[in-house]
Structures are given as C-alpha cells and as structure tokens.
Amino acid sequence: MSLELWLAFIATYSLISIVPGPSVLMVVSQALNNGRRAALYCVAGDIVGGFVIIALALLGVGTLLATSALLFQIVKWCGVFYLAYLGIQQICAARQLAPMDVQPQASQQSLFESLRAGFFVGVLNPKAIMFYVSFLAQFWDPNGNTTTQFFILIATSTVIVGVVLGGYALLAVQAQRFFQSIKARRRLGYASGTAMLGGSIWVSATR
C-alpha cells in the first residue's frame, strides 16, 4: 500500500466515521446517562466490534453474506432485535430516573454492560460487512503484501474510530451540565431510545 493510498483511506474513513450513526448515539447516551468511564467502555466495545467487522470483510465474509440469503437474514435480524432491545432499554431507564441519578455513577456491572452494548452495536450489522467489502477494495493494492495491508487497514481504522467516538464521548461529558435535570435527561433517554427503535425498523426494512 502506497503512502498516498493510505492517506486517502485515512481521510475518507475519518469522514465516514464522523457522520453520526448507532455507535455515536450509543456512546453519547452512555456518556450522558452513566458518565465518562461508561462511555469509554462503550467506545472500547465498539472498537472491538469494528475490528471484527473489518476483519470479516477482509476475509471475504461479506461475499458469503451477499450470496447466502439465509445467513444474511439471520445476522440482519439479530441486529434488528438487539437495536430494538437497546431502544426499549433506554426508554425504560429514562422512565425510572430518580433525583439521586442526576450525578451518574457507573458500577462495574454497568461498565461491562456499556462494553457489551458498544460491541454488539458495532458488530451486528451485516450491511456494514458488505459495505467494507466494497469500501476497502478501493484502498487495496493487489500487488502489495496481503498481511501487511490487512494489519495497516485494521490498525488505521481502529485508531480513527477510537478518536472519533472518544471525541463524541468527551463532548457529551462536557455537555452534561445541560442535562442535569430529571426532565431533560428523560427527554434525552426517550429521544435516544426512539432513535434506536427507528434504526431497528430501518434495518429491518432494507435488503
């Protein structure tokens, strides 16, 4: 892989990552509801999930999903149900907020849940695998060393996602003072939960 091709990948992938999606929404929600540590755990989970997705794409699983309608539907509906579950969970958590919850304190259990949520939001998206198959192909040098390019693309994408999602998390933590009231945080919980449900409906309706 040439330096020019690598720099083009960094620029393009950074722009794609900055656009808010389910991962950004989940990280911001974790930051506002559970604090900075929970958000960073969520970012770590999403990075691992993204690592798995890109590795699968580079290994050709995207092609398999494209040719196997049954396998694609299985992965797709797992993602749909998990997004819906997260949305319902966000709404229920917003309904149960109490005054003592205004200052978020993440327990070890909630930190693990944040890690798990980030991972599954990142990994349960069959369309992401197929997107990466076509996207990464644009930056793959067929004459270059396969192993070297594999690790370069994995490492670069991991750093970019970590920086972008980490930035969103820190911005959300700084914005916490605007969401200190129970009313404001409930509205945020309802909005993020509804967005998750909307995302699950959108994924279910696409092919």
Got the DSSP string for 69-137? HHHHHHHHHHHHHHHHHHHHHHHHHHHT--GGGSS----HHHHHHHHHHHHHHHH--HHHHHHHHHHHH
Map out the domains of the chain as residue ranges: 38-205
* Greatest CA separation for the chain: 61
Q: Is 107 left (phi over 0), alpha (psi -120 to 50) or beta?
A: beta
d(CA 18, CA 29): 16
- What is the per-residue pLDDT for 163? 92
- What is the per-residue pLDDT for 105? 53
- What is the per-residue pLDDT for 206? 60
What is the number of residues in the chain?
A: 207
In the numeric block, which tokens belong to residue 4? 């020019």
> What are the tens digits of pLDDT across the range 124-148?
765 566 667 667 667 777 777 877 8
> What are the tens digits of pLDDT across the range 47-77?
888 888 877 777 766 566 666 667 667 767 7
d(CA 164, CA 115): 17
Q: pLDDT at residue 156 above 80?
A: yes
